[in-house]
Structure 1
Amino acid sequence: MTWAEAITPYPDLDQLLGELLGHWQRILRDDLVGAYLQGSFALGGGDQQSDCDWLVATRRRPTEQQVAELRGLHDEMPTRDGHWPHDLEGSYAPVAELVSVEHIGRPWLFNDHGHRTLDWDDHCNRGYTRWILREHGVTLTGPAPKSFIAAVPDDFLRREAAAALPTLLDDLATWVDIDALAWGQRYAVVAACRTYYTLLTAEVATKLAALEWALRTLHPRWRPLLGQVRDQRSLGWDPGQRPRPGEAGAARAFVAYVIAQADRADVTGRDDQHPPLE
């Protein structure tokens, strides 16, 4: 299908999303409640370095036949030429599990970007992804997200962020080596900025917005590192690009700084967005 108005800044991505929606309607039929964009494109900051994150709300968990057809769809998609078929990522979420935050953390049928598989995973069922979907989700079809998705409480988002920061580098090390890959070094810095921003504000920012916020509000000694990460964002994923000497160490030091700041932060009833400059 084609859209009356542009969904993203990229016509080829809009065309692909229209095709996907047609497949979802064909496969799920009456079980399709709605289809949405979340992530960076929902937050208004999607670019060529972003995944296109989607979520399909269903009346029930997909049947065996539906799962088989969806697996065929996602097995074929990354074999195509072009950029966006390799950068789609999303989950199939039963609508009954979207109506309450009690269901956050339950695994949904998930397609990781660039992968030809569907797995049961909670990747799209975290507090911060729910917040983006409800507050900023872009509707491809179906009711507005706010009409049926439960609001994520501020304290839930802050607890989730506080729990994620201390293990950020260890978690990252399970799938990327920041000493060997420049993209990983940049990812560590951005992830720390975004997580700390959520801890302080109970909101979620795009990667670039979180970096700009950190440049404005964190201690000036981090500006060279934050500027380096911001300016190199357009380089994207390059498996042959190693970080320059000292960059990985600077990223580790920055994450340690953010963790220390988070430990000292009093976010009870906080309504400002500016951490102390230390």
Structure 2
Amino acid sequence: MYTPYTELDQVLTDLVDSAREILGDTYVGAYVQGSFALGAGDLHSDCDFIIATTEPPSGRIEADLRVLHDELPAGEGFWCKEIEGSYADIASLKTSQGLGTPWLYCDHGHRVLIWDTHCNSLHTRWILRHKGIVLDGPPIASLVDEPPPDAMRAAMREELHGLVDGVRAWAPFDIAWTQRYIVSTCCRVLYTLRTAEVESKRGALEWAREQLDPRWRPLLTQVLQDRELGWDPGDPPRPGSLEAACEFAAYAESLDADRGR
């Protein structure tokens, strides 16, 4: 078993079988990253994959992959709509020098593949190398070098500063999910700044609740407890909770400034 969910394991198996057939000689291997690789995947998580290839998909191969991912979310069951990931050529996947290279990307629940850098991050590389689940193919550590710790911290520092404004550009601020996202993302960023490693949202929240100023424990506990509510566009933030999340983001940014950035 790859995950705690039999249905998800079957979706992943079918995806890998289909992708291997389509990619032919350009297929290298398939891997789970993200929350399931970190041991924290649940019914509120999407399942993140990386399929490694010898070269970026193009021509007939790209067209057939687009058909595959157009059909995938229309299948029966829950997990076929909760898959997200990229087709990464091994040259750009190997080191941080490949950052910025677009990969053919399947957004969560979407049916149209796009060329995007969403999965092409040091964050993804760290999870793959240290925690990645091999669905098929060679050990992932043979395909991904160790991300430099200083580069990991620099990437998180860039994400932290201006995080709230960045989220405001794409997420609605009148739903509770966004409040939880801001707080949990700040915790994940702070965790990486401290350790140069990657933790799940839940793990980072629990770490922050123990390690940060105790005045934030009620907020962090609320976000942990409310995670079970999932995405609900009709669920507004608790009174005062969004303001508290923005204050926490400012606090997180100040911690980084205090450490000399």
Classify the TM-score, shorter chain: over 0.9
Instruction: Work out the CA distance in 2 between the residues paired with 1:140 and 1:156.
Output: 28
Partner of 1:273: none
**TM alignment of 1:96-107, pairs within 5 A:** 96-107=91-102
Q: Partner of 1:149: helix, strand, or coil?
A: coil
- Residue 218 of structure 1 aligns with an amino acid whose one-letter code is L
TM-score norm. by structure 1 comes to 0.92
Shift of residue 193, structure 1, vs aligned partner: 0.3
Shift of residue 99, structure 1, vs aligned partner: 2.0
Partner of 1:235: 229
Is 1:220 the counterpart of 2:222? The answer is no
Q: Partner of 1:91: helix, strand, or coil?
A: strand
Shift of residue 10, structure 1, vs aligned partner: 0.2
Instruction: Work out the CA distance in 2 between the residues paired with 1:172 and 1:71.
Output: 29
Q: Partner of 1:56: helix, strand, or coil?
A: strand
**TM alignment of 1:72-83, pairs within 5 A:** 72-83=67-78
Of 233, 246, 254, 1:252 maps to: 246
Is 1:19 the counterpart of 2:21? The answer is no
Of 155, 158, 163, 2:153 maps to: 158
Instruction: Work out the CA distance in 2 between the residues paired with 1:247 and 1:82.
Output: 34
Is 1:67 the counterpart of 2:62? The answer is yes
**TM alignment of 1:1-278, pairs within 5 A:** 6-178=1-173, 180-265=174-259
Q: Which structure is higher in helix share?
A: 2
Partners of 1:101 and 1:151 within 8 A in 2 = no
- Residue 262 of structure 1 aligns with an amino acid whose one-letter code is D
TM-score norm. by structure 2 comes to 0.98
- Residue 194 of structure 1 aligns with an amino acid whose one-letter code is R
Across the aligned residues of Structure 1 and Structure 2, the Cα RMSD in angstroms comes to 1.1
1:67-97 Cα deviation digits (max 9, x unpaired): 1111111111112342211110000001111
- Residue 227 of structure 2 aligns with an amino acid whose one-letter code is R
Q: Partner of 1:232: helix, strand, or coil?
A: helix
Q: Partner of 2:94: helix, strand, or coil?
A: coil
Q: How many residues align?
A: 261
Instruction: Work out the CA distance in 2 between the residues paired with 1:163 and 1:248.
Output: 22
Partners of 1:78 and 1:86 within 8 A in 2 = yes
Instruction: Work out the CA distance in 2 between the residues paired with 1:99 and 1:242.
Output: 42
Shift of residue 104, structure 1, vs aligned partner: 1.5
Moved over 3 A (4+): none
Shift of residue 177, structure 1, vs aligned partner: 2.0
- Residue 200 of structure 1 aligns with an amino acid whose one-letter code is R
- Residue 22 of structure 1 aligns with an amino acid whose one-letter code is D
Instruction: Work out the CA distance in 1 between the residues paired with 2:172 and 2:256.
Output: 24
Partners of 1:211 and 1:230 within 8 A in 2 = yes
Partners of 1:108 and 1:120 within 8 A in 2 = yes
Shift of residue 266, structure 1, vs aligned partner: 5.2
Structure 1 residue runs of 5 or longer lacking an equivalent are 1-5, 268-278
Partners of 1:77 and 1:85 within 8 A in 2 = yes
Instruction: Work out the CA distance in 1 between the residues paired with 2:76 and 2:182.
Output: 30
- Residue 45 of structure 1 aligns with an amino acid whose one-letter code is A
